[in-house]
Chain A
Amino acid sequence: MYYYLYDPQLSDKKYNNITARIETRLTDLGINGKINRLSFLKNINQLLFEEIKRGVKTVIIVGDDKTIGQVINLVADFNITIGLIPIGSDNNIARLLGVPLGEEACDVISSRIIKKIDLGKINNHYFLTNLIINGKNIALECDNNYLINLSEGNNTINISNLNYCYNSPTDPLDSQLDVFIENVQKKLLRKAKSTLSHFKNATLKITGDKTVPILINDEKKIVKTPAEVIVVPKKLKIIVGKGRYF
């Protein structure tokens, strides 16, 4: 049983044509199901929870990366399959999963190549793509073995599960998180120098100041330290295309 969740932005007139074509294609393929158009007044988590209770096994998200980010945290704890029909401009997740834009994504949903991928978790909050932490005086305790000290300069920590950053795609099937640390040192009358570090870890403990601002699935949140980041292997069942990056 398929359940379709439409992003609030798709209520805009400019998307009428594409949504109509998608619905026709889904009917042709025989995978049409209940459609729920989200709005700013509806609570996405409550809607999904009720539908999962009724016995929905496959949830198809029609929208962009932000829509997926909102749904992941709720879906992770249930045994359901996720699919994507990407519409809009911000669709990096769909590209990494090998799902083409718009109408063509219906064929990928129909072919149902399902992969069990890892999810990242920070203090009981799941994330699919990455975390971005900016700040000084941050230390990372990795796999309970060693400590990474970041005291000098401005550091940007990018903890990725499914992502394409610094010219390399990260693998969401390896049961590890890729940790990229970019350090930028600015000097007067000189070009800013940036250096990159890369680690692979299954568990991380972020320590430092009392609170750290973290971007989780492109959503800014303030997290109290120490914060624990772990990878949960094979947590999410997701429909992927043949052109996926893993």
Chain B
Amino acid sequence: MFKETPITNETDTIIGPSVKVEGDFITEGNVVVEGMICGTIKTSKNLKVGSKSKIFANILAENALIAGEVQGNIKINDKLELTSTAKIFGDIKVGTLIIAAGSIFNGKCQMGTLKEKSIKPDFSKQEKIDLKTPVEPEILTEKKFLKKK
């Protein structure tokens, strides 16, 4: 009955297929979802969503592997992997995204960290061109041309 196994702090929270969770599910450890969740999921570690699971919640996690259905926004700090059975109806904000062929994703997607944003040219130093007021072209006569010189 007893094996020589030490207790590890990284024990998973497992939400089995028979279980329905309603509310804010906030945890520090790894989470495996095989059942149904309504509300929010927050974890500072990894999240795994099984193929038969249904999630009606916003998700916040470090890494995630999704094989089931998610209706809600997803924010993953590092890596998100969607398998071929995954169905996502919501926006994704992620560091790295892997999408397998066959998965469904309906929503906006923002990838990469803030540092990797494209550098915009600084237009503030340039003189603004007023396009609204019409400027009549100046006709230079011979006299004016010589005066300018």
Residues of chain A whose beta carbon lies under 8 Å from any beta carbon of chain B: 92, 95, 145-153, 155, 164, 167-171, 174, 181, 183, 185, 195-200, 245-246
If A145-B25, A196-B14 touch, does A150 touch B7 (CB 8 Å cutoff)? no
A sample of 23 cross-chain residue pairs with beta-carbon separation below 8 angstroms, ordered by A number, consists of: A92-B1, A145-B23, A145-B24, A146-B21, A146-B22, A146-B24, A146-B25, A147-B22, A147-B23, A148-B21, A149-B21, A153-B18, A168-B5, A169-B5, A181-B16, A181-B18, A183-B17, A183-B18, A195-B16, A195-B17, A196-B14, A200-B13, A200-B29
Docked complex Cα distance between A245 and B1 (Å): 13
Given A146-B21, A147-B22, A168-B5, 7 additional A-B pairs, CB 8 A: A146-B23, A149-B20, A151-B20, A196-B14, A197-B15, A200-B11, A245-B6
- B19's partner among A95, A148, A164 (CB-CB below 8 A) is A148
Which chain B positions have C-beta within 8 A of A199? Answer: 13, 15
Q: Interface residues of A: mostly helix, strand, loop or mixed?
A: strand
Docked complex Cα distance between A48 and B29 (Å): 41
Asked if B123 is an interface residue, CB under 8 A from chain A, the answer is no
Interface size of B by Cβ–Cβ distance < 8 Å?
28
Which chain B positions have C-beta within 8 A of A153? Answer: 18
Residues of chain B whose beta carbon lies under 8 Å from any beta carbon of chain A: 1-3, 5-7, 9, 11-27, 29, 34-35, 39
Q: Is A149 touching B14 in the complex (CB atoms < 8 A)?
A: no
Q: Is B21 touching A164 in the complex (CB atoms < 8 A)?
A: no
Minimal beta-carbon separation of A209 from chain B (angstroms): 18
- Look across to chain A and name the residue whose beta carbon is closest to the beta carbon of B20: A149
Minimal beta-carbon separation of B88 from chain A (angstroms): 22
By Cβ-Cβ distance, the 3 closest A-B pairs, closest first, are A146-B23, A183-B18, A197-B16
- Look across to chain B and name the residue whose beta carbon is closest to the beta carbon of A155: B18
Which chain B positions have C-beta within 8 A of A170? Answer: 7
Docked complex Cα distance between A171 and B10 (Å): 12
Minimal beta-carbon separation of A133 from chain B (angstroms): 14
Minimal beta-carbon separation of B12 from chain A (angstroms): 7
